[in-house]
Structure 1
Amino acid sequence: MSERTVLVVDDEFAIRDMLRMALEIVDYRCLEADNIQDAHAIVVDQRPDIVLLDWMLPGGSGIELLRRLKRDETTQEIPVIMLTAKTAEDNVIQGLEVGADDYITKPFAPRELIARIKALLRRSGVGESTDRMQVSELILDGKSRRVFLAEQPLDMGPTEFNLLQFFMSHPERAYSRNQMLDQVWGANVYVEERTVDVHIRRLRKALQIDGKDYSGVIQTVRGTGYRFSSRGVPTD
């Protein structure tokens, strides 16, 4: 199983430092942010397995970031635990209604929080290894960064590999060009939307070898963008 990544979003350095040490002891990789803008960029760029989100933050509340994550199909499945000093019942209800998966109030014991993280990851299935993915005769090996079709290695560039890995991790969902730019290129990289179309054409070409054409798994969704679908697998 690959290393789990946890994003801690809190404006108090002491809290982040304490959580980082507690997480590293149990072999979790820890990312940190002290405001919602930086936190959102990290979520888009690095796709943490879970987010620990403080309610009160500079430049906007954690609830604002939570709403943003849960509105976006590409981030809505990332589990979120709210960390806050707010204990009123209506605050708890608000956080859970917006989409928080769990809620823990300050001060808290790090061991209790780690236990909740582990339970939530088990329940959600987030963080399970996607090193090897397969659709019929198409196999993607994340560790070696190689793709095989009918046991033959395919020749594709790093961006096409990253696109295919993203698609195979999120099958049967339509994504806009902007969403793909955020997820594959990164939120802080500025490239034009038509760049996606160029790399989609290259990816489709790479998915064609003698006697096999899997280019149909990358489907154009009119008015939206693209999706990966096993329905595009050719039938013999």
Structure 2
Amino acid sequence: MPTISHMTRTTTTGGLRAARDTIPVALSIAPFALVVGATGTQLGVPPLADMAAAATVFAGAAHFAPLTMFAAGAGVLAALGAAVLINARLLLYSTALEPRFRGQPRWFRWLGPALLIDQTYLMVLARDDLDDPARFRRYWLVGGGLLLSSWVALVGLGGVLGPFLPAGSPLDAAGVVVLAGMLGPRLTAVRPLLVALTALLVATAAAPLPGGVGLIAGIAAGIAAGALLDRVPS
């Protein structure tokens, strides 16, 4: 029977492993978080309000696209429709992760999905040692919690820096960087790399389009590339 000290060491090790895996992923989303915060401030959104939205939405593209669409004169329904379209992929992620949540406590089944984004999904997918429900729960909460905290803080930092940047700053184009970082935990694998590069190239080419359309086009291209690659035998 495991001793209390052994269980404590195991818990600490699991938390440190999640924190270690989160660091490069957090760095990969940092440019996009700064862009979201800076864009929000330039559009008149107070940094604290933008941070609250970042914590609530916790989805960079779904946060950024409505901001830019509003700036381009799009209506509320169009902006919300874009956000829903962008986040539709999370339904696929939740289906894939359902077995991991099935045996969890009720509180975790209610709160855990709030941390589901591309990065947390792929961090879990990259590991083969999370079959134990408690270990998965610990990894998910530590990794997702750190990503959420860093995202909100960086959006706030971008909001503080926003007033010091010229309108239409070239930083706006850096939003596409997140499409490469989106698959950070598995960029050494060929298929995720191809998906990320497809999304990045399309988003970069479509960057001059108004209203965040370029970012949406990049995401759609990445999804299409992933669907096509799934049909190709390994």
Q: Same fold (TM over 0.5)?
A: no
User: Which of 1 and 2 has greater Rg?
Assistant: 1
| TM category, shorter | under 0.3
Judging by fraction of residues, say which structure has more helix: 2
